[in-house]
Chain A
Amino acid sequence: MQTQLTKGYSISEEGYYGNFGGAYIPELLYNNVHELAQNYLQITQDPDFKKELDLLLKDYVGRPSPLYFAKKLSKKYNAKIYLKREDLNHTGSHKINNALGQALLAKKLGKQKIIAETGAGQHGVATATACALLGLDCTVFMGQVDIERQAPNVSRMKMLGAKIIAATSGTKTLKDATNEAIRYWINNNDSYYLIGSVVGPHPYPDLVTRFQAIISEEIKEQLLIAEGKKDPDYVLACIGGGSNAAGAFFNFIGNEKVKLIGIEAAGKGLHTDHTAATLQKGSSGIIHGSKTFLMQTNDGQITEPYSISAGLDYPGIGPLHAHLHETGQATYLSASDEEAITAAFELMQEEGIIPALESAHAFAALKKIEFKSSDVVVINLSGRGDKDLDTYLKHFN
């Protein structure tokens, strides 16, 4: 059985997007993952569930997020540039769309204990928020290094009632936080694992994509009013695991008029080992239960990525993106730390917006594409930069 989602791709019953995806999990997790795979579509497509989630997205998150015409950037880059303001959501990023959706789903499945991994802390904060709202227990796994570089988000999660567990294995970042969350899940089968990106075993990539798809759904409606057409010429989004990009791309996949551009973190540069540009530097394999592209040695050991932005510092990428990359349905570029910082300051000074370091990578791509003056370009501004003030201040002089 194939579920046809859009013209561009279908996902098989086993959770494959072409050659990528699937559920590569030990038998110990089979029941949990299988239970979710069997039920997620039915629950999330139930009219009552949709109504409850839609209401929360509207009144609690503040959706629809504005589609803002960036006049000065447009002039500078000679195109019509719109910003999808996910940074204006409650908790400051697109992560809340998925966290609320999955927390509601967990509740319907009768789960009381939520676990989550987080890199920059945006998903952790969103999950802690959703759990506080819905009365669920929340435990967040976070790499020790990220705990130090994203201190304000750690405090937020704690105040929201979440328990933080530091991941001290590996390089103590997002990959290791995910390993620890998986181990905890094996040992605590009654927990619901609320994954923050379009990664992990099936059905997570599809589940998270569906909760984030509201981004492109709104873009279509908003563009129709602003430009008299639903389809932009370009959609730009940054990619770590790839959830904000999956949401911004979803309703345009298979639409040949729309160029989908994902921007990975090049870190200190593609020519160095200090990078997180998985599609550029990685190869096919298994990471966190999914077959996808990942950064690994010749011996199949997963390597430690590097990016200035904790949210993009992940050695894998969602299987949907691996598929879109392989089939040429989306183009993937990369931006270095330096390019992202420059783009962030430009956005601050031109438009008065402090973006998250992750989102700044998407803006760096403006310099890498030649636009026509008639091109309508949508950049997904996935999060705000409050959490990154320390890093910005270091570069501000």
Chain B
Amino acid sequence: MKTRTELLFEKQPGNNLSIFITAGFPKKESLLEIIPLLENSDCDIIEIGIPFSDPSADGPVIQQSSTLALNNGMNLELLFKQVKQVRPLTTKPIILMGYLNSLLKFGIEAFYRSCHEAGVDGLIIPDLPLKEFKKEHELYIKKYKLDFIFLITPTTENKRALELATNSSGFVYLVSSNSTTGTENKNRLDLSEKIILLKKSGLKIPLLIGFGISTASDFTKACEQANGAIIGSAFIQLVKNSTNLQKDIPQFIQTIKTKSYDHSIN
């Protein structure tokens, strides 16, 4: 049986927008409000960040959202409860993104089982090495019919990039720059070599570009090369500054997406 993510890319190969929001931010119960708003918008994938005390791959915006979420009392148990609650309200794939320590403390199988039970579709755990994944995680990813998404950077060696893509399911997360999340993109490197490599590989796995994507123009450019893009820090910033999420979220998504409708994946 195909996962929600696989079905999405079959139906709509290009222009996919994935939106990242930290669970428990800005308020403990915010997911319950934000996910229905995303469902009614033109966003395609919902990524939920598991807040962590020491998010060393994240820039200030996501760091601060994590700290606030933890202060609000967010934890994995509550996160799963909230996802379960909103799952019936949305047909979009829900991906969890977090650091390995949260998962280990929860228990590896317990974590993936809870993902399955809550209706989570896939996982991104950037600090889980491929070998560890194969040894202790892949088994449960298969057992609970989840997708696991690896990151590939412009400087990932080709052989390794193919290995990471082969072991990914759902999509591959292409990092557009060597930087922490939400960083001003001075290290933007050319992803086209990796994209050509992956497209020619015959793996047929969708590619989403993330890190440093914040505007409609960034999104449009990403969609010219890949199957879509991920916006995290810019969305968190919007949520942080917004006094009217009901109005601001749909508007933000619309601004990002409408300008890019003319482009589709080749």
Contact = CB atoms under 8 A, between A and B. Distances in A.
Interface of A: 14, 22-28, 30-31, 169-170, 175, 179, 182-183, 186-187, 189, 283-289, 294, 296, 298-303
Interface of B: 52-54, 56-59, 63, 67, 70, 75-77, 99-106, 126-129, 131-132, 150-153, 155-157, 160, 164, 175, 178-180, 183, 187
9 contacts: A14-B131, A28-B178, A170-B54, A283-B105, A286-B127, A299-B105, A301-B53, A301-B70, A302-B101
Nearest to A303: B53
Nearest to B152: A27
B107 to A, nearest CB: 10
A26 B101 contact: no
Contacts of B63: 169
Contact of A186 (B77, B99, B128, B178): B178
B185 to A, nearest CB: 11
Given A24-B129, A26-B127, A27-B164, 11 more contacts: A14-B131, A24-B127, A24-B132, A27-B150, A179-B56, A285-B105, A288-B56, A296-B101, A298-B105, A300-B102, A300-B106
Nearest to A187: B179
B154 to A, nearest CB: 10
B100 A183 contact: no
A303 B63 CA distance: 16
A301 B187 CA distance: 30
B59 A299 contact: no
A24 B54 contact: no
B23 to A, nearest CB: 12
A287 B127 CA distance: 11
A115 to B, nearest CB: 14
Contacts of B76: 299-300
A296 B105 CA distance: 9
A22 B135 CA distance: 13
Given A14-B131, A183-B56, A183-B59, A28 B102 contact: no
A187 B132 CA distance: 25
B104 A300 contact: yes
Contact of A170 (B53, B104, B132): B53
Nearest to B127: A24
Contacts of A28: 57, 151, 153, 175, 178-180
B100 A24 contact: yes
Contact of B56 (A23, A182, A284, A301): A182
Contact of A300 (B58, B105, B157): B105
B56 A286 contact: no
Contacts of A26: 57, 126-127, 151
Given A22-B132, A286-B101, A300-B102, A27 B153 contact: yes
Given A30-B156, A285-B104, A289-B127, A187 B54 contact: no
Contact of B102 (A170, A299, A303): A299
Contacts of A303: 53
Contact of B75 (A189, A294, A299): A299
Contacts of B58: 183
A26 B152 CA distance: 10
Contacts of B150: 27
B55 to A, nearest CB: 8
Given A28-B175, A296-B105, A286 B100 contact: yes
A11 B180 CA distance: 31
A317 to B, nearest CB: 15
Nearest to B155: A31
Contacts of B100: 24, 286
Given A169-B63, A186-B178, A27 B126 contact: yes
A283 B54 CA distance: 16
Contacts of B183: 187
A300 B75 CA distance: 9
Contacts of A289: 127
Find the residue from B63, B75, B101, B128 having the highest chain A CB count within 10 A.
B101
Contact of A25 (B77, B105, B127, B164): B127
B187 A187 contact: yes
A286 B99 contact: yes
A22 B153 contact: no
Contacts of A301: 52-53, 70, 102
A23 B180 contact: no
Contacts of A294: 101
B211 to A, nearest CB: 9
Contacts of A22: 129, 132
Contacts of B160: 30
A299 B126 CA distance: 19
A22 B131 CA distance: 10
B82 to A, nearest CB: 15
Contacts of B103: 300
A296 B75 CA distance: 13
A187 B131 contact: no
A288 B55 CA distance: 10
A143 B231 CA distance: 30
Top 10 nearest A-B pairs by Cβ distance? Answer: A300-B105, A301-B53, A26-B126, A27-B151, A299-B75, A300-B102, A182-B56, A286-B101, A26-B57, A24-B127
A286 B105 CA distance: 10
A283 B128 CA distance: 19
Contacts of B164: 27
A55 to B, nearest CB: 36
Contacts of B180: 28, 183, 186-187
A24 B102 contact: no
A182 B152 CA distance: 19
A5 to B, nearest CB: 22
A148 to B, nearest CB: 21
Contacts of A182: 56-57
A22 B136 CA distance: 14
Nearest to B75: A299
A151 to B, nearest CB: 26
Given A27-B126, A299-B76, A285 B156 contact: no
Nearest to B98: A300
